[in-house]
C-alpha cells in the first residue's frame, strides 16, 4: 500500500501532566491511520504529530479530547537552531572551590576559534609542552568540551564548527581532580564562547513547488513574503516548477497558504540544505526568549 509522506507537522502536549491515555491514543491512531505519524524530537523533547493537512490533525486533537478526555495544546514545532563562533578568543580560566576537606582546583589556558569546517564538526586539541596537565586531566577537559557543545550558552542548542585548544594550565597536588578539570573546561567554554562573536545558525531548506501556470504570480508572492531566494523556474505546457531556498522557520504554515493560493492544485517538497546565520533581530529575540524561559524555570523550582 502506498502511504504518502506527511505534509504538515505540529507540536502537541497535554494541558495537564502527560497521562497513559495520551500515549495509548497516539499508538491507536497510528495503527488505524498510516498517514498519521507521531514521534518525539530527540533534541527539543517535543512530541510532534504529522499528517496530511491541518484538518486531518485537528480531527485527532478533537478525538483525543472526546474519546480519551485529554485536552492538548498544539503549536509549531521548535526549529533546530545551531550555535557557533566567528572569531578567535583566548582564555585563562581558574576553577577554585573549597568545601571543608579537599577542594577543587584546575587552571586551563588556550583559545577557541571557528573551524570553518563545511560539515560543522567540533574539534578539541591539546598542545601542552612539559606536562603541566596530566593525560587523565586532559581527557576530562575533552569530556567537558564535548558536553558543552551539546547545549550552547546562547539558546541551549547544539554547537557547530568550534575548535578548542588547551596549551597550558596548572594543577594542585591535593585539590586537582578529573571533575575539577571537566568543570573548568565547561566554564571556560561558556565564558569564551560569549566573547568570540557568537552566532545563531538557522536551517535553510531547498523548496520545490509545482502548480498550474495560472498561479505562478501567487506563488512568487508567497515566497517573497518569506524572504526566500528564488533559484530557478521551469515553465511547462500546463504546470510550472519553482525552486527556492528559504529558512525553515518561515516555512511553517506554508502548506495551508499554498492550498489557498492554488485552489488546492499546488504541491511542494522541501529538504535540508545548509545552516546560515539568523538575521540580527531574530537572534536577539531568540536569546531574550531563552533567558525569559530560563528565569521562569528557576522561579518555579
Whether residue 292 lies inside any domain: the answer is: no
The residue segments making up the domain with residue 30 are 8-75
- Both 170 and 209 in a single domain? no
pLDDT of residue 273: 87
Whether residue 299 lies inside any domain: the answer is: no
pLDDT of residue 252: 82
Whether residue 103 lies inside any domain: the answer is: yes
pLDDT of residue 196: 93
Distance between first and last Cα of the chain:
50
Report the pLDDT averaged over residues 282-286. Answer: 92
Q: Say if residue 301's pLDDT is above 70.
A: no
CATH number at residue 256: 3.30.70.240
Final residue in a domain of this structure, among 176, 196, 216: 196
Whether residue 287 lies inside any domain: the answer is: no
Report the pLDDT averaged over residues 214-232. Answer: 92
Q: Say if residue 296's pLDDT is above 90.
A: no
Per-residue pLDDT band for 117 (boundaries 50, 70, 90) equals confident
pLDDT of residue 216: 92
Final residue in a domain of this structure, among 75, 94, 120: 75
- Both 16 and 87 in a single domain? no
SS3 of 301, please? Answer: coil
CATH number at residue 133: 3.30.230.10
In the numeric block, the cell 587523565 is attached to 136
C-alpha 121/C-alpha 159 separation (Å) is 9
Whether residue 293 lies inside any domain: the answer is: no
- Both 160 and 229 in a single domain? no
Whether residue 120 lies inside any domain: the answer is: yes
Count of the separate structural domains present in the chain: 3
- Both 119 and 178 in a single domain? yes
Whether residue 294 lies inside any domain: the answer is: no
Number of H helices, E strands in the chain: 8, 13
C-alpha 142/C-alpha 239 separation (Å) is 55
Percentage helix, strand, coil for the chain under 3-state DSSP, each rounded to 5: 35, 35, 30
CATH number at residue 54: 3.30.70.870
pLDDT of residue 132: 77
- Both 184 and 121 in a single domain? yes
User: Range with the lowest mean pLDDT among 72-81, 208-217, 275-284?
Assistant: 72-81
- Both 94 and 148 in a single domain? yes
Burial 244-274 (b: 16+ CB within 10 A, else e): bbbbbbbbbebbeebbebbeeebebebeeee
- Both 22 and 97 in a single domain? no
- Both 222 and 269 in a single domain? yes
- Both 192 and 88 in a single domain? yes
227 CB-near residues (< 8 Å, 6+ apart): 246, 247, 250
Per-residue pLDDT band for 7 (boundaries 50, 70, 90) equals low
Whether residue 291 lies inside any domain: the answer is: no
Per-residue pLDDT band for 185 (boundaries 50, 70, 90) equals very high
Final residue in a domain of this structure, among 196, 216, 245: 196
pTM: 0.78
pLDDT of residue 6: 73
- Both 97 and 170 in a single domain? yes
Q: Say if residue 288's pLDDT is above 90.
A: yes
Report the pLDDT averaged over residues 65-85. Answer: 88
- Both 215 and 272 in a single domain? yes
Contact 184, 137 (CB under 8 A): no
Amino acid at each position: 500500500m502506498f502511504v504518502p509522506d506527511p505534509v504538515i507537522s505540529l507540536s502537541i502536549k497535554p494541558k495537564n501532566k502527560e497521562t497513559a491515555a495520551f500515549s495509548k491514543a497516539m499508538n491507536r491512531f497510528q495503527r488505524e491511520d498510516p498517514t498519521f505519524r507521531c514521534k518525539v524530537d530527540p533534541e527539543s523533547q517535543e512530541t510532534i504529530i504529522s499528517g496530511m493537512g491541518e484538518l486531518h490533525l485537528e480531527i485527532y486533537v478533537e478525538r483525543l479530547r472526546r474519546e480519551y478526555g485529554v485536552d492538548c495544546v498544539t503549536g509549531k514545532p521548535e526549529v533546530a537552531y545551531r550555535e557557533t563562533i566567528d572569531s578567535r578568543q583566548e582564555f585563562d580560566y581558574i576553577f577554585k572551590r573549597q568545601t571543608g576537606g579537599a577542594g577543587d582546583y584546575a587552571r586551563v589556558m588556550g583559545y577557541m576559534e571557528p573551524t570553518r569546517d563545511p560539515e560543522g564538526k567540533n574539534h578539541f586539541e591539546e598542545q601542552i609542552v612539559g606536562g603541566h596537565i596530566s593525560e587523565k586531566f586532559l581527557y576530562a577537559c575533552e569530556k567537558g568540551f564535548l558536553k558543552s557543545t551539546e547545549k550552547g550558552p546562547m539558546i541551549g542548542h547544539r554547537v557547530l564548527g568550534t575548535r578548542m585548544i588547551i596549551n597550558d594550565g596548572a594543577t594542585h597536588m591535593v585539590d586537582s581532580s578529573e571533575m575539577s578539570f571537566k568543570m573548568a573546561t565547561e566554564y571556560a567554554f561558556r565564558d569564551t564562547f560569549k566573547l568570540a562573536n557568537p552566532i545563531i545558525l538557522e536551517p535553510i531548506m531547498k523548496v520545490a513547488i509545482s502548480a498550474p501556470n495560472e498561479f505562478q504570480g501567487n506563488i512568487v508572492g508567497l515566497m517573497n513574503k518569506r524572504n526566500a531566494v528564488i533559484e530557478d523556474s521551469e515553465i511547462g505546457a500546463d504546470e510550472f516548477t519553482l525552486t527556492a531556498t528559504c529558512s525553515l522557520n518561515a516555512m511553517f504554515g506554508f502548506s495551508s497558504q499554498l492550498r489557498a493560493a492554488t485552489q488546492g492544485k499546488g504541491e511542494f517538497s522541501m529538504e535540508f540544505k545548509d545552516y546560515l546565520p539568523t538575521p540580527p533581530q531574530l537572534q536577539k529575540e531568540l536569546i531574550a526568549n531563552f533567558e525569559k524561559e530560563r528565569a521562569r524555570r528557576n522561579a518555579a523550582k
